Structure 1
Amino acid sequence: MKKYIFSLFMALISFAGQAQAQVEMADQFRADGKIYVVIAVVAIILTGIFIYLFRLDRKITDLEKRIK
């Protein structure tokens, strides 16, 4: 358990370090107002993935109940 928490903590620290760098493309998107389109597309994709995983989990649970 401690290894898992330590690994998660180290991963978060590395992401925070990378987030500090300046990204010119993101600045340009922000200036043009297109960053909202990018955020919306990413949100739609993530929502679709979560819905797919939730439905898949329900189907697997039903199959496990049928086996027992």
Structure 2
Amino acid sequence: MKKIGLLLVFCLTSFFLLAQDKIEITESDYANQEVEMADRFREEGKIYILTGVICIILGGMVTYLVVIDKKVSRIEKQLLNNDI
């Protein structure tokens, strides 16, 4: 009963949500060369620091996922060996 109630609530709330209005895309949008933040970072040389930090964070996340996967695989093997 709880699942049906939640399903009904989620379905009804989707009817009340509004999307953004359509905005016409112009030629200047395709040739947008005015990204102030990126230009400022490039001028000050901080763009390299930004990309380095992003790479370090992504590398850490990938390393963490690999370590977790190895631990889970080892636990799965132990469970399979104990069940037999």
What is the TM-score of this pair, normalised by structure 2?
A: 0.55
What is the TM-score of this pair, normalised by structure 1?
A: 0.67
Q: 2:36 maps to what in 1? A: 24
Which structure features the higher share of helix residues? 1
Max radius of gyration: which structure? Answer: 2
Distance 2:35 2:72 in 1: 42
Q: RMSD between aligned alpha carbons?
A: 1.3
Q: 1:57 maps to what in 2? A: 69
Deviations 1:19-45 (A, max 9, x none): x74421011001111100000100110
Unaligned 5+ runs, structure 2: 1-30
Distance 1:58 1:23 in 2: 42
The residue identity in structure 1 corresponding to 2:51 is I
Q: Which runs of 4+ in 1 moved over 4 A?
A: none
Percent of matched pairs sharing the same residue: 45
Unaligned 5+ runs, structure 1: 1-19
More relative contact order, 1 or 2 (CA 8 Å, 6+ apart): 1
Distance 1:24 1:64 in 2: 51
Q: 1:42 maps to what in 2? A: 54
